[in-house]
Each structure stands twice: as structure tokens, then as C-alpha cells.
Amino acid sequence: MMFSYESPNARPPAKATAAWWLPLAVVWISVLVGCSNAEESAQQRPPSSQTIPETGPADHMSADHMAATESGGSGQAGSGQAVKIQERPPVFQLDNPPVIRDATATEMSPPPMITGSSRFESLSARSAAPKSAAPKSTAPKSTAPKSPGSQPVLQHAIEQPRVEALAMQAPPSSASAPAPMPSAPDGFDEPMSSLPAGSTRNDEGGYATIEVFYATDRSRSTLPLSAYEVTGQKRLFMSICLVALMTFGFALFNWFRGRSKLAMGSALIGIAAGCFATAVVTMGQTNIEKHGVTYNADRGVLTRGICEVTVPNSHQRGQVERPSLLRFEFREDQSEHMVLTSAVELGQADFGKRMAERVGQSPRRDLLLFIHGYNVDFQSAVQRTAQMAVDLPFEGVPVCYSWPSQGTLIGYPIDENNSEWTTTHLREFLLELANESGAESINVVAHSMGNRAMVAAMQQISWQLPEQSPPPFDRIVMAAPDVDADRFRRDLAGPLTKVANHVTLYASSDDQALIASKQVHGYPRAGESGDNIVVVAGVETVDVSGIDLSLLGHSYYGDNESMLRELYDVVRGRLPARQRPALITRRDGELVYWQLASQSDVNGSDVPLR
């Protein structure tokens, strides 16, 4: 028989039990929230500098072949449909294009002008002699000798995408013989099969080191990279410490109220939380050698440098592997996680020289610039850049531009302000890439709020671009753009088609982050699909609804394998939407857009959405 004693001041057993378990519930909820935040921040980082894995060469197609294929009815889904096309004059190469000064920019510093000695003139000189398609290799590509007496023409990598962007434009009178159709990479299902330019493998350590060039206008932190020993669990550590303090406070409160048992239980939970926080620190210490600088969320000056990110051989496509408490991982392991091991600042001249050398070593002399969105810190941005370069795969040079995002969910208003503030610096960096990198193909991928800075910078560059000059950029990809849809249609789409050979916009009706942004701003966002989908001439809009089953559905651009295959066809395969096999043609009045087929789609027939 059991006996119990209950003091006159004791509360009913049910309430006492509820109060007893309250601190414990708070502890576990905080732990789960901390883990969720760490996982979410790791996945959204993009988070991109050595060689990207690419499997199988994607041959460039001539303008004749592209136009003949599209006009001859070989397009899979869009044959027989009338497409509204924006008439645009043909692109010519000027040896000495005139300098046009922008009289409208009054409050900003004068932008660097594009002159005849810029990338446009160098493109003409480089394209004087025909080039053969480069084989798939990570070795430096040999450059064909140039004939001094040959007539300057536009480089094929510039001329052919222009035909793709207009899709239905008649082929030029003088074009080379059709090239073989690019095919999907043979080794796409084998991650880490090929790497970006400048990458190295460490078979003994079980990882590869990816070199990522970067530019940022964040403020430099006083803490060097080597001082970071807690790896990826900072939010969890802070959450546990806060829970421990609250629990001790609760215990002290109950002690003075005479509730000794409840106070003792709360104190024990607080001690356990403190011990767990200590374990996170001690077990999170790593002996990985790191060196270089770090950056915080404050505004700074435009700086440039090179990062090194290690990617494990066990890397899975679409993931940024980071330590996770759910897997009982407290420290970084280069054989299992992506680790930023180096971040070294360089002067502008040294950065440009190193960039040009690395571009010259890449098989196609191309680079991929990634611009991150809201709630992303510097380390996450660089890691995402490396992950995308490896997963596409991309064998050129990965480059990351990181603006001062706060890296927190509650930092949205500040991020909005900083995405506008960074426009001048981003424009300056884009012009440096166009004029000094020596790249024959500059591809830009912007995500979410990063599209605001990108489209604003491109608009300013379009004002400076001399008439009838070739576009300085090849592919522009807008992934889930958090941009006002009406303003994009009216003011921003036109300048993008002027500065790039090909523009692709990805939208989704499952993007909860953009739905929330619409509620905040009161108007649809350009990254939304459904009734508000943005379809404009010169921009290929792709509806990717249904492919991202995550909670927010906002990071599909780097997390989803179907999306990565689609990006490969855009950036590496250089295919227009009509020739990408995973796309289904849809109609919006007289204009056409596309939908990325899900696994349940069994055919590619044209079925209008409305």
C-alpha cells in the first residue's frame, strides 16, 4: 500500500504535474526549433570556385540549326502555335562603339562606361577565327590562332543564344553548318563526376576542394575564419543557453514561493540544458585547418577574394551537407559535410588577373555568377554557390556575390533596404566581369530578393550599352524572384533582354515565401504562377509548381534534382525552352510559357492551363 503526504499549501496534482513538465517541453521545443533553423539556413545557403561536375559535353548549336529546327516543326510541344514575338533589330559588332553617358543617374556615382576597349571589342577579336567545340575535359582549352585579316564577326556563343531568345526569328543569311544537338549529361546521376575549374580532389580525405571567387559589400568581421570552432550550431547553442537561463529563473521563482520540488526539478532541467550547450561547444570543436576573413551583416565596401569549399565525395545532389543534431553531429567533417576552409581577400587588379587565368583554364571559358536572396549569410552563400556548381555540373568558374543580408527571418525589412543599397556595387562588379574576366559566356543566377538588385543593376547597364552592341551577358536565370510583377512587366523585362542573350524566369504557385511577400506588399510577385504568372516577350517563363514539396517551396532552384537538370539544359546545354525535353507548352493568350513536368506527367502534349 502506498502512502502520500500532501501539505496544506500544495496545489492539485494535475496542475503541479503540468507545471513540472512545462520547462521540459520548452527545452525540447527550443531544441527542435534550433535544429530546424540550422537545417533551413544550411539549405538556403547557397549558398558557389573550382570545377563543377559536368557529365557529358553539350555542343553549341548554330543559328541556322536552331532556327531551322524551330521553324521546321521539330519543337516538341509548341508546334503549330502562334507566338507573339517582339521585333528587335539584329545585333552587330562595333569595333569602336560610341560612349553613351547616362543623364538620368543623378544621385548615384557615375557608372563605369563600356567603351571600345571593353568586352565587346575583345569578343569581336576573339571571334575572328572559328573555334571547334571543346571536348569534355578539365584541362585548359587550347585557343585557335586568330587570322589578322579575317572579318570580325560575333562570336557563336553570343549569336546563337540571341536566336534562342527570340525563338521564331528568321536565321541569318551567313551561318555555320548545324552542330550536333546537345544531349543531357551522361554522368548526371553520378555526383562529383566532374568539377569546376580549379578544383582539386583529395581521395585520401574523401572530399574535393572547390574554388569560389567572390565579391561582397558586407563589413569584414573582426573574428578570423580560424576562430570559428562551433560549426553550424550557433543558433542551437544560443537557444539552449536561453532555455537554461529561463529554467533557472523559473526554479528560483518557485523556490521563493515555497515549491521546493518544482524548483528542484526546474533547476535540474536547467543544469541539463547548460551541460548540453557545453557539449555543443566542446564536441563542435574541429581540427580542420581554416584561414582567412569572415563577414557580418553590416554594410561595408566592395571587396573581392577567393574562397575554398570542401565537398565530400558522398555528396548528394541538391543538398548542402551540414552538421545536424538530429543525426547526432556536433562538428564539421570534411568527408561528410561541406566546409568553408578559406576566404582570402584580393585587390581588384590581383582578383581580375586570377579570374582571367582561371577562366582561360576552363573548357568553355565561361563563368557562373550566383546572387543569393533574403535570410542568407556569407558562408551559406558561398557554400550554395559551390553546391550548384558541383550539381549542375558546371566546368567553368563559379562566382558568388554576397550582399549584406541579415541572415535572420526577422531581418526582412533590413534585407529589402540593403538589396536596393547594393545595386551600385553589383553593377560595378558585373561590368568588371564583362570587361576583364575574358569569359566568353557569363551566366547569372539570382534567387528571391537577390533578383531586385540584379534587375536594377542590369537596367542601369542597359542604359549604358551602345546601340547594336552584343549583349555582355549570356544566360540570366531568375529563380523565385521577389520582384513586383507589374513593375517587372513594365520596366524591367525589356532591359534584361537587351543585356542578355537569353532570360529565363522560374515561378511557382507553391512558393509560400512569395505568397507571404505578396501579403506584405499588397501586389503579386514575379515568382508567382497561377493567375498572376508573368509572361512577357523575350523572357521564357517556366512554371515549376509541384516539384518542391518542402514547407516553404522557395529553394527549389538548388534543392530539386529535376530543377537542376533543367538548369543544366539552360546554362550548359544552351537549349531554348521549346527544345528542353522536360517542359510542356502552355498558353497565356497569344503568348506561350512552359511548365516543368513532374514525375506524374506521362506525355508532353500541349494542354492549356486555362
3-state secondary structure 340-395: EEEEEEECHHHHHHHHHHHHHHCCCCEEEEEECCCCCCHHHHHHHHHHHHHHCCCC
pTM of the predicted structure, to 2 decimals: 0.66
Q: What is the pLDDT of residue 247?
A: 83
Closest alpha carbon to 543 in 498, 457, 487, 601: 601
Say if CB 444 and CB 454 are below 8 A apart.
yes
Closest alpha carbon to 34 in 420, 288, 323: 323
Query: Is there a cis peptide before residue 393, judged by omega within 30 degrees of 0?
Result: yes
Cell of 37: 533553423
Pairing of strands 295-312, 339-346: antiparallel
Closest alpha carbon to 582 in 539, 552, 546, 532: 546
Q: What is the pLDDT of residue 163?
A: 37
C-alpha span between 385 and 52 (Å, rounded)? 10
Largest CA distance in the chain: 109
Give, for 540, the enclosing helix (H) or strand (E).
strand 540-543
Pairing of strands 207-220, 397-402: parallel
Side chain identity, residue 165: A
Q: What are the distances in angstroms from CA 314 to CA 88, 338, 341, 384, 564? A: 48, 10, 18, 17, 18
Q: What is the pLDDT of residue 487?
A: 96
Q: What is the pLDDT of residue 164?
A: 43
The gap between the terminal CA atoms of the chain, to the nearest Å, is 74
Closest alpha carbon to 175 in 163, 165, 184, 167: 163
Q: What is the pLDDT of residue 256?
A: 84
C-alpha span between 159 and 65 (Å, rounded)? 12
Q: What is the pLDDT of residue 560?
A: 87
Q: From the DSSP assignment, how many helices (H) and strands (E) are in the chain? A: 16, 13
Say if CB 160 and CB 61 are below 8 A apart.
yes
* Secondary structure (3-state) at 260: helix
C-alpha span between 405 and 407 (Å, rounded)? 5
CA-based R_g, the chain, Å: 27
Cell of 39: 537545417
Q: With the CA atoms of 250, 252, 257 and 261 taken in that order, what torsion angle do they form, in degrees rounded to the nearest 10?
A: 80
Q: What is the CATH number of domain 49-134+152-231+286-610?
A: 3.40.50.1820
* Secondary structure (3-state) at 467: coil
* Secondary structure (3-state) at 420: helix
Closest alpha carbon to 496 in 530, 451, 455: 455
C-alpha span between 52 and 64 (Å, rounded)? 30
Pairing of strands 397-402, 540-543: unpaired
C-alpha span between 404 and 407 (Å, rounded)? 9
Which residues on neighbouring strands pair with residue 541, listed in sequence order? 505
Which residues on neighbouring strands pair with residue 344, listed in sequence order? 306
Mean pLDDT by 10 residues, the chain (610 residues): 44 44 52 49 42 40 41 39 40 39 42 44 42 40 38 38 39 35 50 90 94 97 75 60 81 83 82 73 64 95 98 93 77 90 96 96 96 96 96 95 95 96 98 96 97 98 92 97 97 96 96 94 95 94 88 85 92 94 90 82 41
User: DSSP of 25-90, one letter per residue?
Assistant: HHHHHHHHHHHHHHHHHHHS------BPP--S--PPPPHHHHHHHHHTT--SS-TT--------PP
Q: What is the pLDDT of residue 237?
A: 67
Cell of 302: 566592395
Closest alpha carbon to 48 in 477, 479, 392, 439: 392
Closest alpha carbon to 363 in 124, 62, 66, 132: 132
* Secondary structure (3-state) at 106: coil
Say if CB 161 and CB 477 are below 8 A apart.
no
C-alpha span between 554 and 321 (Å, rounded)? 18
Side chain identity, residue 550: S
Cell of 17: 504535474
